[in-house]
Amino acid sequence: MFPYIAAITIAFAPSDGLPARPAASVGMSAERLETIDRIVNRGMTAGGYPGASVVVGRRGFSVFEKGYGRLGWTKTTAAVVPDESIYDLASLTKVVGTATAAMILWDEGRLDLDAPVSRYLPSFSGGQKDQVTIRHLLTHTSGLPAGRDLRRLADSPWEARSVVMSTPLACRPGACQVYSDLGADVLAFAIEAVAGQGLDGFLAERVFTPLGMDDTRFRPEASDRDRIAPTELSSPRGYPIRGEVHDENAWALGGVAGHAGLFSTAADLSIFAQMMLNRGTYEGVRIVSDSAVERFTRRTAGTRALGWDTSDGEGTAGVHMGASAYGHTGFTGTSLWIDPERDLFVVLLTNRVHAPKARRPAKVIADVRADLADAAVLSVVDDNILRMPASFRADKAVGWNRTVRRPVVRRKPTASRTTTKKATSAKKTTAKPVVKTTAKKAPTKPTPKPATKAASTKPAPKASAAKKRATGTSTTARSPRKSGSELEAT
Protein backbone atom coordinates (compact mmCIF):
# COMPACT_ATOMS: atom_id res chain seq x y z
CA MET A 1 0.00 0.00 0.00
CA PHE A 2 1.08 3.58 -0.41
CA PRO A 3 0.01 6.82 1.28
CA TYR A 4 -2.77 8.56 -0.61
CA ILE A 5 -1.58 11.50 -2.68
CA ALA A 6 -3.79 14.41 -1.67
CA ALA A 7 -2.64 16.42 -4.68
CA ILE A 8 -4.97 14.47 -6.95
CA THR A 9 -7.87 16.54 -5.70
CA ILE A 10 -6.48 19.53 -7.59
CA ALA A 11 -5.18 17.68 -10.65
CA PHE A 12 -7.75 16.89 -13.29
CA ALA A 13 -7.75 14.76 -16.42
CA PRO A 14 -9.33 15.77 -19.74
CA SER A 15 -13.10 15.25 -19.88
CA ASP A 16 -13.72 14.49 -23.56
CA GLY A 17 -13.12 10.75 -23.37
CA LEU A 18 -10.07 8.96 -24.70
CA PRO A 19 -8.24 10.35 -27.72
CA ALA A 20 -9.12 8.47 -30.92
CA ARG A 21 -6.63 6.65 -33.11
CA PRO A 22 -6.97 4.44 -36.22
CA ALA A 23 -7.22 0.78 -35.37
CA ALA A 24 -4.09 -0.10 -37.32
CA SER A 25 -1.99 2.25 -35.19
CA VAL A 26 -2.64 0.10 -32.12
CA GLY A 27 -2.41 -3.30 -33.82
CA MET A 28 -6.08 -3.83 -34.59
CA SER A 29 -8.05 -4.50 -37.77
CA ALA A 30 -10.61 -1.86 -38.72
CA GLU A 31 -12.30 -4.37 -41.01
CA ARG A 32 -12.77 -6.84 -38.21
CA LEU A 33 -14.03 -4.12 -35.87
CA GLU A 34 -16.79 -3.38 -38.38
CA THR A 35 -18.29 -6.72 -37.33
CA ILE A 36 -19.53 -4.84 -34.25
CA ASP A 37 -21.98 -2.94 -36.47
CA ARG A 38 -23.67 -6.16 -37.53
CA ILE A 39 -23.75 -7.58 -34.01
CA VAL A 40 -25.26 -4.52 -32.33
CA ASN A 41 -27.71 -3.84 -35.16
CA ARG A 42 -29.00 -7.40 -35.08
CA GLY A 43 -29.81 -7.07 -31.40
CA MET A 44 -31.57 -3.80 -32.06
CA THR A 45 -33.52 -5.12 -35.06
CA ALA A 46 -34.64 -8.11 -33.03
CA GLY A 47 -36.21 -5.72 -30.54
CA GLY A 48 -33.75 -6.27 -27.71
CA TYR A 49 -33.08 -2.54 -27.15
CA PRO A 50 -33.81 0.75 -28.94
CA GLY A 51 -30.20 1.89 -29.07
CA ALA A 52 -26.68 1.24 -27.85
CA SER A 53 -23.43 3.03 -27.10
CA VAL A 54 -20.14 1.22 -27.72
CA VAL A 55 -16.48 2.07 -27.11
CA VAL A 56 -13.53 -0.23 -27.74
CA GLY A 57 -10.13 0.97 -26.62
CA ARG A 58 -6.56 -0.26 -26.78
CA ARG A 59 -3.20 1.06 -25.63
CA GLY A 60 -4.65 4.27 -24.31
CA PHE A 61 -6.77 5.18 -27.34
CA SER A 62 -10.33 4.80 -28.49
CA VAL A 63 -10.32 2.75 -31.70
CA PHE A 64 -14.06 2.20 -32.06
CA GLU A 65 -16.63 4.61 -30.64
CA LYS A 66 -20.15 4.59 -31.99
CA GLY A 67 -23.78 5.18 -31.10
CA TYR A 68 -26.62 3.08 -32.53
CA GLY A 69 -30.32 3.82 -32.74
CA ARG A 70 -32.05 6.14 -30.30
CA LEU A 71 -32.60 6.48 -26.57
CA GLY A 72 -36.19 5.27 -27.02
CA TRP A 73 -38.29 3.47 -29.61
CA THR A 74 -39.86 6.66 -31.01
CA LYS A 75 -38.25 8.95 -33.55
CA THR A 76 -38.74 11.91 -31.21
CA THR A 77 -36.08 10.65 -28.80
CA ALA A 78 -32.47 11.67 -29.31
CA ALA A 79 -29.99 9.59 -31.28
CA VAL A 80 -27.38 7.77 -29.19
CA VAL A 81 -24.02 9.55 -28.96
CA PRO A 82 -21.23 7.89 -26.89
CA ASP A 83 -20.00 11.08 -25.20
CA GLU A 84 -23.46 12.56 -24.63
CA SER A 85 -26.01 9.78 -24.04
CA ILE A 86 -26.36 8.89 -20.36
CA TYR A 87 -27.39 5.41 -19.24
CA ASP A 88 -28.41 3.84 -15.93
CA LEU A 89 -25.41 1.61 -15.14
CA ALA A 90 -27.31 -0.67 -12.73
CA SER A 91 -24.85 -3.18 -11.19
CA LEU A 92 -21.83 -1.61 -12.86
CA THR A 93 -22.19 0.65 -9.81
CA LYS A 94 -20.74 -2.22 -7.75
CA VAL A 95 -17.36 -1.98 -9.49
CA VAL A 96 -17.11 1.53 -10.94
CA GLY A 97 -18.35 2.99 -7.66
CA THR A 98 -18.39 0.79 -4.55
CA ALA A 99 -15.36 -1.43 -5.22
CA THR A 100 -13.30 1.58 -6.34
CA ALA A 101 -14.13 3.40 -3.12
CA ALA A 102 -13.07 0.31 -1.18
CA MET A 103 -9.78 0.25 -3.11
CA ILE A 104 -9.03 3.83 -2.12
CA LEU A 105 -9.70 3.22 1.57
CA TRP A 106 -7.69 -0.02 1.48
CA ASP A 107 -4.82 1.93 -0.08
CA GLU A 108 -4.95 4.36 2.79
CA GLY A 109 -5.01 1.58 5.38
CA ARG A 110 -8.41 2.65 6.60
CA LEU A 111 -10.32 -0.43 5.41
CA ASP A 112 -9.09 -3.90 6.33
CA LEU A 113 -10.35 -6.58 3.98
CA ASP A 114 -10.28 -9.25 6.69
CA ALA A 115 -11.74 -7.14 9.46
CA PRO A 116 -15.28 -7.93 10.62
CA VAL A 117 -17.89 -5.59 9.22
CA SER A 118 -18.98 -4.88 12.79
CA ARG A 119 -15.73 -2.96 13.32
CA TYR A 120 -17.05 -0.27 11.01
CA LEU A 121 -20.78 -0.88 11.53
CA PRO A 122 -21.40 -1.91 15.16
CA SER A 123 -25.11 -2.48 14.48
CA PHE A 124 -24.22 -5.20 11.97
CA SER A 125 -23.49 -7.77 14.64
CA GLY A 126 -24.86 -10.66 16.62
CA GLY A 127 -24.65 -14.37 15.91
CA GLN A 128 -22.86 -15.30 12.70
CA LYS A 129 -22.88 -11.68 11.52
CA ASP A 130 -19.85 -11.18 13.77
CA GLN A 131 -17.92 -13.44 11.37
CA VAL A 132 -18.74 -11.46 8.21
CA THR A 133 -15.72 -9.59 6.83
CA ILE A 134 -15.27 -6.88 4.21
CA ARG A 135 -13.78 -9.54 1.94
CA HIS A 136 -16.93 -11.62 2.27
CA LEU A 137 -19.00 -8.67 1.10
CA LEU A 138 -16.76 -8.12 -1.93
CA THR A 139 -16.85 -11.78 -3.00
CA HIS A 140 -20.58 -12.38 -2.36
CA THR A 141 -19.81 -14.96 0.34
CA SER A 142 -21.17 -13.06 3.36
CA GLY A 143 -24.21 -15.28 3.72
CA LEU A 144 -26.60 -12.41 3.02
CA PRO A 145 -29.48 -13.22 0.66
CA ALA A 146 -29.68 -11.73 -2.83
CA GLY A 147 -32.08 -8.96 -1.85
CA ARG A 148 -35.29 -7.84 -0.15
CA ASP A 149 -38.29 -5.84 -1.28
CA LEU A 150 -37.24 -2.58 0.35
CA ARG A 151 -39.90 -0.58 -1.45
CA ARG A 152 -42.60 -2.47 0.44
CA LEU A 153 -40.74 -2.84 3.72
CA ALA A 154 -39.65 0.78 4.18
CA ASP A 155 -41.20 4.23 3.92
CA SER A 156 -37.96 6.20 3.83
CA PRO A 157 -34.29 5.74 2.85
CA TRP A 158 -33.35 5.53 6.52
CA GLU A 159 -35.89 2.78 7.14
CA ALA A 160 -34.65 0.97 4.04
CA ARG A 161 -31.14 1.12 5.41
CA SER A 162 -32.34 -0.36 8.70
CA VAL A 163 -34.03 -3.21 6.84
CA VAL A 164 -30.79 -4.00 5.01
CA MET A 165 -28.75 -3.95 8.22
CA SER A 166 -31.20 -6.17 10.09
CA THR A 167 -31.47 -8.80 7.35
CA PRO A 168 -30.60 -12.22 8.76
CA LEU A 169 -27.95 -14.34 7.07
CA ALA A 170 -29.11 -17.15 4.82
CA CYS A 171 -26.02 -19.26 5.43
CA ARG A 172 -22.75 -19.27 7.34
CA PRO A 173 -20.22 -16.65 6.12
CA GLY A 174 -17.79 -18.18 3.65
CA ALA A 175 -19.85 -21.36 3.26
CA CYS A 176 -21.93 -20.25 0.29
CA GLN A 177 -21.73 -17.77 -2.56
CA VAL A 178 -24.89 -15.83 -3.36
CA TYR A 179 -24.77 -12.80 -5.66
CA SER A 180 -26.07 -10.24 -3.18
CA ASP A 181 -27.17 -6.66 -3.71
CA LEU A 182 -27.56 -6.40 0.05
CA GLY A 183 -23.90 -7.26 0.53
CA ALA A 184 -22.89 -4.37 -1.75
CA ASP A 185 -25.19 -2.07 0.20
CA VAL A 186 -23.66 -3.05 3.56
CA LEU A 187 -20.21 -2.50 2.03
CA ALA A 188 -21.29 0.98 0.95
CA PHE A 189 -22.51 1.73 4.49
CA ALA A 190 -19.09 0.67 5.84
CA ILE A 191 -17.32 2.88 3.29
CA GLU A 192 -19.46 5.84 4.31
CA ALA A 193 -18.69 5.20 7.98
CA VAL A 194 -14.94 5.11 7.30
CA ALA A 195 -14.92 8.04 4.86
CA GLY A 196 -17.19 10.20 6.97
CA GLN A 197 -19.32 11.17 3.97
CA GLY A 198 -21.90 9.73 1.59
CA LEU A 199 -20.85 7.32 -1.14
CA ASP A 200 -21.93 9.75 -3.86
CA GLY A 201 -19.89 12.63 -2.47
CA PHE A 202 -16.84 10.45 -1.83
CA LEU A 203 -16.78 9.08 -5.37
CA ALA A 204 -17.36 12.48 -6.95
CA GLU A 205 -14.46 13.96 -4.97
CA ARG A 206 -11.99 11.11 -5.22
CA VAL A 207 -12.74 9.45 -8.58
CA PHE A 208 -15.08 11.09 -11.06
CA THR A 209 -14.02 14.72 -10.79
CA PRO A 210 -10.26 13.99 -10.82
CA LEU A 211 -10.71 11.79 -13.91
CA GLY A 212 -12.89 14.32 -15.70
CA MET A 213 -15.87 11.95 -15.77
CA ASP A 214 -18.29 14.86 -15.83
CA ASP A 215 -21.39 12.83 -16.74
CA THR A 216 -20.95 10.13 -14.10
CA ARG A 217 -22.99 10.53 -10.94
CA PHE A 218 -25.83 9.32 -8.76
CA ARG A 219 -29.18 11.13 -9.11
CA PRO A 220 -28.66 13.04 -12.39
CA GLU A 221 -29.75 16.64 -12.74
CA ALA A 222 -33.17 17.33 -14.22
CA SER A 223 -31.48 19.42 -16.90
CA ASP A 224 -29.86 16.25 -18.26
CA ARG A 225 -33.13 14.38 -18.65
CA ASP A 226 -33.26 14.61 -22.45
CA ARG A 227 -29.83 12.96 -22.65
CA ILE A 228 -30.78 10.08 -20.34
CA ALA A 229 -32.03 6.79 -21.75
CA PRO A 230 -35.44 5.89 -20.31
CA THR A 231 -35.85 2.53 -18.61
CA GLU A 232 -39.11 0.98 -17.44
CA LEU A 233 -42.42 2.25 -18.82
CA SER A 234 -44.77 0.50 -16.39
CA SER A 235 -42.98 0.75 -13.09
CA PRO A 236 -44.25 0.01 -9.56
CA ARG A 237 -43.89 3.74 -8.93
CA GLY A 238 -46.81 4.42 -11.23
CA TYR A 239 -44.97 6.39 -13.90
CA PRO A 240 -42.34 5.82 -16.63
CA ILE A 241 -38.78 5.94 -15.30
CA ARG A 242 -36.28 8.33 -16.83
CA GLY A 243 -33.51 10.06 -14.92
CA GLU A 244 -34.24 8.00 -11.78
CA VAL A 245 -32.51 4.78 -10.88
CA HIS A 246 -34.36 1.81 -12.35
CA ASP A 247 -33.60 -0.57 -9.48
CA GLU A 248 -36.44 -0.41 -6.93
CA ASN A 249 -34.24 -1.14 -3.92
CA ALA A 250 -31.71 1.52 -4.88
CA TRP A 251 -34.62 3.93 -5.29
CA ALA A 252 -35.92 2.98 -1.82
CA LEU A 253 -32.46 3.81 -0.45
CA GLY A 254 -32.72 7.31 -1.89
CA GLY A 255 -31.09 6.72 -5.27
CA VAL A 256 -27.61 6.17 -3.84
CA ALA A 257 -26.73 2.54 -3.10
CA GLY A 258 -23.77 0.23 -3.18
CA HIS A 259 -25.39 -2.08 -5.71
CA ALA A 260 -26.96 0.39 -8.18
CA GLY A 261 -27.67 4.05 -8.84
CA LEU A 262 -24.81 5.36 -10.98
CA PHE A 263 -25.44 6.96 -14.38
CA SER A 264 -22.73 7.53 -16.99
CA THR A 265 -21.78 7.72 -20.66
CA ALA A 266 -19.71 5.23 -22.63
CA ALA A 267 -17.04 7.91 -23.11
CA ASP A 268 -16.74 8.47 -19.36
CA LEU A 269 -16.46 4.73 -18.73
CA SER A 270 -13.70 4.50 -21.33
CA ILE A 271 -11.64 6.85 -19.14
CA PHE A 272 -12.33 4.71 -16.09
CA ALA A 273 -11.39 1.54 -17.98
CA GLN A 274 -8.13 3.09 -19.15
CA MET A 275 -7.31 4.15 -15.60
CA MET A 276 -7.69 0.52 -14.55
CA LEU A 277 -5.52 -0.68 -17.46
CA ASN A 278 -2.93 1.90 -16.43
CA ARG A 279 -2.97 0.26 -12.98
CA GLY A 280 -4.65 3.10 -11.15
CA THR A 281 -3.58 6.25 -12.98
CA TYR A 282 -4.73 8.36 -15.92
CA GLU A 283 -3.19 11.49 -17.43
CA GLY A 284 -0.99 12.02 -14.40
CA VAL A 285 -3.86 11.55 -11.95
CA ARG A 286 -3.49 8.58 -9.60
CA ILE A 287 -6.73 7.22 -8.19
CA VAL A 288 -5.51 3.97 -6.63
CA SER A 289 -2.23 2.10 -6.38
CA ASP A 290 -1.12 -0.53 -8.85
CA SER A 291 -1.15 -3.07 -6.02
CA ALA A 292 -4.80 -2.21 -5.31
CA VAL A 293 -5.74 -2.85 -8.93
CA GLU A 294 -3.88 -6.15 -8.89
CA ARG A 295 -5.42 -7.23 -5.57
CA PHE A 296 -9.01 -6.33 -6.39
CA THR A 297 -9.09 -7.74 -9.93
CA ARG A 298 -7.44 -11.09 -9.16
CA ARG A 299 -9.76 -14.10 -8.97
CA THR A 300 -10.47 -14.89 -5.33
CA ALA A 301 -13.63 -16.95 -4.87
CA GLY A 302 -14.86 -18.99 -7.81
CA THR A 303 -14.87 -16.59 -10.76
CA ARG A 304 -15.21 -13.63 -8.40
CA ALA A 305 -12.46 -11.15 -7.68
CA LEU A 306 -12.99 -8.40 -5.07
CA GLY A 307 -16.11 -6.75 -6.40
CA TRP A 308 -15.30 -7.68 -9.99
CA ASP A 309 -16.18 -10.77 -11.96
CA THR A 310 -13.56 -12.48 -14.14
CA SER A 311 -13.52 -14.11 -17.54
CA ASP A 312 -13.96 -17.87 -17.54
CA GLY A 313 -14.04 -18.52 -21.28
CA GLU A 314 -17.80 -18.25 -21.57
CA GLY A 315 -20.64 -15.95 -20.57
CA THR A 316 -20.77 -12.24 -21.28
CA ALA A 317 -16.99 -11.95 -21.64
CA GLY A 318 -17.09 -14.20 -24.68
CA VAL A 319 -14.61 -17.01 -25.24
CA HIS A 320 -11.47 -15.13 -26.24
CA MET A 321 -10.77 -12.72 -23.38
CA GLY A 322 -7.54 -13.45 -21.50
CA ALA A 323 -7.33 -15.36 -18.23
CA SER A 324 -6.69 -12.13 -16.31
CA ALA A 325 -9.64 -10.27 -17.86
CA TYR A 326 -12.20 -8.83 -15.46
CA GLY A 327 -15.48 -6.97 -15.78
CA HIS A 328 -19.11 -6.76 -14.77
CA THR A 329 -22.61 -6.37 -16.18
CA GLY A 330 -25.69 -4.37 -15.27
CA PHE A 331 -29.34 -5.46 -15.36
CA THR A 332 -30.40 -2.52 -17.53
CA GLY A 333 -28.23 -3.84 -20.37
CA THR A 334 -24.75 -2.55 -19.59
CA SER A 335 -21.33 -4.18 -19.44
CA LEU A 336 -17.64 -3.38 -19.08
CA TRP A 337 -14.85 -5.87 -19.78
CA ILE A 338 -11.12 -5.18 -19.41
CA ASP A 339 -8.35 -7.45 -20.75
CA PRO A 340 -4.93 -6.49 -19.29
CA GLU A 341 -3.08 -9.05 -21.43
CA ARG A 342 -4.12 -7.24 -24.61
CA ASP A 343 -4.37 -3.76 -23.04
CA LEU A 344 -7.95 -3.75 -24.29
CA PHE A 345 -11.38 -2.81 -22.97
CA VAL A 346 -14.97 -2.97 -24.24
CA VAL A 347 -17.86 -0.78 -23.05
CA LEU A 348 -21.50 -1.49 -23.96
CA LEU A 349 -24.44 0.59 -22.72
CA THR A 350 -28.07 -0.14 -23.61
CA ASN A 351 -31.47 0.24 -21.98
CA ARG A 352 -32.77 -3.21 -22.78
CA VAL A 353 -35.38 -2.89 -19.97
CA HIS A 354 -37.16 -0.13 -21.91
CA ALA A 355 -40.24 -1.80 -23.45
CA PRO A 356 -38.26 -4.50 -25.28
CA LYS A 357 -39.97 -5.95 -28.33
CA ALA A 358 -38.01 -9.19 -28.35
CA ARG A 359 -39.56 -12.23 -26.69
CA ARG A 360 -36.38 -12.83 -24.68
CA PRO A 361 -34.45 -9.55 -24.34
CA ALA A 362 -32.19 -11.03 -21.66
CA LYS A 363 -30.99 -13.64 -24.16
CA VAL A 364 -30.48 -10.97 -26.82
CA ILE A 365 -28.28 -8.77 -24.60
CA ALA A 366 -26.32 -11.76 -23.27
CA ASP A 367 -25.38 -12.83 -26.80
CA VAL A 368 -24.59 -9.29 -27.93
CA ARG A 369 -22.33 -8.72 -24.91
CA ALA A 370 -20.40 -11.92 -25.58
CA ASP A 371 -20.17 -11.24 -29.33
CA LEU A 372 -18.93 -7.71 -28.74
CA ALA A 373 -16.17 -8.94 -26.44
CA ASP A 374 -15.18 -11.63 -28.92
CA ALA A 375 -15.23 -9.23 -31.88
CA ALA A 376 -12.94 -6.82 -30.03
CA VAL A 377 -10.40 -9.52 -29.15
CA LEU A 378 -10.54 -11.02 -32.66
CA SER A 379 -9.71 -7.58 -34.06
CA VAL A 380 -6.28 -7.65 -32.40
CA VAL A 381 -3.92 -8.63 -35.20
CA ASP A 382 -0.44 -7.73 -34.01
CA ASP A 383 0.08 -10.97 -32.09
CA ASN A 384 -1.40 -14.45 -32.24
CA ILE A 385 -4.09 -13.62 -34.79
CA LEU A 386 -7.25 -15.58 -34.12
CA ARG A 387 -9.49 -16.90 -36.85
CA MET A 388 -12.77 -15.07 -37.40
CA PRO A 389 -15.82 -17.35 -37.00
CA ALA A 390 -18.22 -17.93 -39.87
CA SER A 391 -20.98 -16.46 -37.72
CA PHE A 392 -21.54 -14.94 -34.29
CA ARG A 393 -24.27 -15.65 -31.75
CA ALA A 394 -26.17 -12.62 -33.01
CA ASP A 395 -26.20 -14.08 -36.52
CA LYS A 396 -27.88 -17.24 -35.27
CA ALA A 397 -30.15 -15.46 -32.76
CA VAL A 398 -30.97 -18.74 -31.06
CA GLY A 399 -33.86 -18.33 -28.66
CA TRP A 400 -34.34 -14.60 -29.28
CA ASN A 401 -37.78 -14.53 -30.84
CA ARG A 402 -38.51 -17.91 -32.36
CA THR A 403 -41.31 -20.00 -30.88
CA VAL A 404 -40.97 -23.72 -30.37
CA ARG A 405 -43.82 -26.02 -31.34
CA ARG A 406 -44.47 -28.66 -28.73
CA PRO A 407 -47.12 -31.18 -29.83
CA VAL A 408 -49.62 -32.26 -27.21
CA VAL A 409 -48.94 -35.86 -26.29
CA ARG A 410 -52.15 -37.92 -26.42
CA ARG A 411 -52.47 -41.45 -25.19
CA LYS A 412 -53.47 -43.98 -27.78
CA PRO A 413 -56.71 -45.57 -26.58
CA THR A 414 -56.59 -49.31 -25.92
CA ALA A 415 -59.05 -51.75 -27.43
CA SER A 416 -60.96 -52.18 -24.14
CA ARG A 417 -61.30 -48.42 -23.64
CA THR A 418 -62.54 -48.00 -27.20
CA THR A 419 -65.17 -50.66 -26.73
CA THR A 420 -66.36 -49.20 -23.42
CA LYS A 421 -66.54 -45.70 -24.87
CA LYS A 422 -68.59 -46.92 -27.84
CA ALA A 423 -70.89 -48.90 -25.59
CA THR A 424 -71.44 -45.93 -23.30
CA SER A 425 -72.13 -43.71 -26.27
CA ALA A 426 -74.69 -46.18 -27.56
CA LYS A 427 -76.41 -46.38 -24.19
CA LYS A 428 -76.61 -42.60 -23.92
CA THR A 429 -78.12 -42.38 -27.38
CA THR A 430 -80.91 -44.87 -26.65
CA ALA A 431 -81.45 -43.90 -23.03
CA LYS A 432 -82.72 -40.38 -23.61
CA PRO A 433 -85.65 -41.11 -25.92
CA VAL A 434 -86.80 -44.05 -23.78
CA VAL A 435 -86.80 -42.01 -20.56
CA LYS A 436 -88.69 -39.16 -22.20
CA THR A 437 -91.28 -41.52 -23.70
CA THR A 438 -91.85 -43.28 -20.41
CA ALA A 439 -92.22 -40.01 -18.45
CA LYS A 440 -94.86 -38.63 -20.84
CA LYS A 441 -96.86 -41.78 -21.62
CA ALA A 442 -97.09 -43.27 -18.12
CA PRO A 443 -100.21 -41.28 -17.02
CA THR A 444 -102.13 -41.80 -20.30
CA LYS A 445 -101.21 -45.41 -21.12
CA PRO A 446 -101.32 -47.59 -18.01
CA THR A 447 -101.61 -50.76 -20.10
CA PRO A 448 -98.26 -52.63 -20.01
CA LYS A 449 -96.58 -53.67 -23.20
CA PRO A 450 -96.00 -57.28 -24.20
CA ALA A 451 -93.34 -59.05 -22.12
CA THR A 452 -91.28 -60.04 -25.11
CA LYS A 453 -90.95 -56.44 -26.31
CA ALA A 454 -90.17 -55.08 -22.81
CA ALA A 455 -87.48 -57.64 -22.34
CA SER A 456 -85.83 -56.61 -25.53
CA THR A 457 -86.04 -52.83 -25.17
CA LYS A 458 -86.66 -51.47 -21.65
CA PRO A 459 -84.52 -53.48 -19.24
CA ALA A 460 -81.21 -52.43 -20.76
CA PRO A 461 -81.82 -48.67 -20.61
CA LYS A 462 -83.41 -48.90 -17.13
CA ALA A 463 -80.42 -50.81 -15.82
CA SER A 464 -78.13 -48.23 -17.36
CA ALA A 465 -80.05 -45.33 -15.84
CA ALA A 466 -80.09 -46.99 -12.43
CA LYS A 467 -76.39 -47.57 -12.60
CA LYS A 468 -75.80 -43.96 -13.53
CA ARG A 469 -77.91 -42.74 -10.58
CA ALA A 470 -76.02 -44.99 -8.21
CA THR A 471 -72.60 -43.91 -9.38
CA GLY A 472 -73.44 -40.23 -9.90
CA THR A 473 -72.39 -40.31 -13.54
CA SER A 474 -73.77 -37.53 -15.71
CA THR A 475 -75.83 -38.45 -18.73
CA THR A 476 -74.76 -35.28 -20.56
CA ALA A 477 -72.35 -35.94 -23.42
CA ARG A 478 -68.91 -34.32 -22.94
CA SER A 479 -67.27 -32.09 -25.55
CA PRO A 480 -64.56 -33.84 -27.53
CA ARG A 481 -60.98 -33.07 -26.37
CA LYS A 482 -59.17 -30.53 -28.50
CA SER A 483 -56.23 -31.65 -30.54
CA GLY A 484 -53.36 -29.78 -32.12
CA SER A 485 -50.07 -28.21 -31.07
CA GLU A 486 -49.12 -25.79 -28.31
CA LEU A 487 -46.90 -22.78 -29.05
CA GLU A 488 -44.43 -21.80 -26.35
CA ALA A 489 -41.93 -18.95 -26.53
CA THR A 490 -38.39 -19.84 -25.57
**pLDDT tens for each residue of 231-276:** 999 999 999 999 999 999 999 999 999 999 999 999 999 999 999 9
**Residue 61 falls inside a structural domain:** yes
Amino acid 96: pLDDT: 98
Average pLDDT, the chain: 85
pTM reported for the whole predicted model: 0.80
Where does 288-360 have alpha helices with state H? 290-297
Task: Tally DSSP H helices, then E strands, for the chain.
Answer: 18, 13
Q: Quick check: helix, strand or coil at residue 334?
A: strand
Report the C-alpha gap between 283 and 292 in whole angstroms.
18
- The H-or-E segment that residue 463 falls in is helix 459-471
Q: What is the DSSP letter of 224?
A: G
Residue 442 has pLDDT above 60, yes or no: no
**Residue 238 falls inside a structural domain:** yes
Amino acid 127: pLDDT: 94
Name the residue with higher pLDDT: 452 or 306: 306
Residue 124 has pLDDT above 80, yes or no: yes
Q: Which of 177-186, 435-444, 470-479 has the highest mean pLDDT?
A: 177-186
**Residue 264 falls inside a structural domain:** yes
Amino acid 474: pLDDT: 38
Amino acid 313: pLDDT: 86
User: Percentage of the chain with pLDDT > 70?
Assistant: 79
Contact 375, 39 (CB under 8 A): yes
Amino acid 411: pLDDT: 59
Amino acid 407: pLDDT: 55
Q: Quick check: helix, strand or coil at residue 482?
A: coil
Q: Strand pairing partners for 218?
A: 262
Cα 484 to chain centroid distance, Å, stands at 35
Which of 307, 239, 288, 248 lies closest to 88 in space, CA to CA?
248
Task: Please give the residue range of the domain that contains residue 137.
Answer: 6-403
User: Percentage of the chain with pLDDT > 90?
Assistant: 77
Amino acid 218: pLDDT: 98
Question: Stretch 315-342: mean pLDDT, rounded?
Answer: 96
**Residue 489 falls inside a structural domain:** no
Amino acid 423: pLDDT: 43
**pLDDT digits over 50-102, tens only?**
999 999 999 999 999 999 999 999 999 999 999 999 999 999 999 999 999 99
Residue 109 has pLDDT above 60, yes or no: yes
**pLDDT digits over 149-203, tens only?**
999 999 999 999 999 999 999 999 999 999 999 999 999 999 999 999 999 999 9
Strands (E), 352-418: 403-407
Which of 345, 325, 349, 324 lies closest to 335 in space, CA to CA?
349
DSSP 76-117: TSPBP-TTT-BEE-GGGHIIIIIIHHHHHHHHTT---TTSBG
**Residue 252 falls inside a structural domain:** yes
**pLDDT digits over 13-49, tens only?**
545 789 999 999 999 999 999 999 999 999 999 999 9
**Residue 80 falls inside a structural domain:** yes
The CATH number of whichever domain residue 259 belongs to comes to 3.40.710.10
Residue 476 has pLDDT above 70, yes or no: no
Number of domains composing the chain:
1
450 exposed, middle or buried (CB, 10 Å; 0-12, 13-18, 19+)? exposed
Q: Which residues contact 402 (CB under 8 A, 6 or more apart)?
A: 490
**Residue 465 falls inside a structural domain:** no
Q: Where residue 383 falls among pLDDT bands split at 50, 70, 90?
A: confident
Q: Quick check: helix, strand or coil at residue 442?
A: coil
**pLDDT digits over 266-303, tens only?**
999 999 999 999 999 999 999 999 999 999 999 999 99
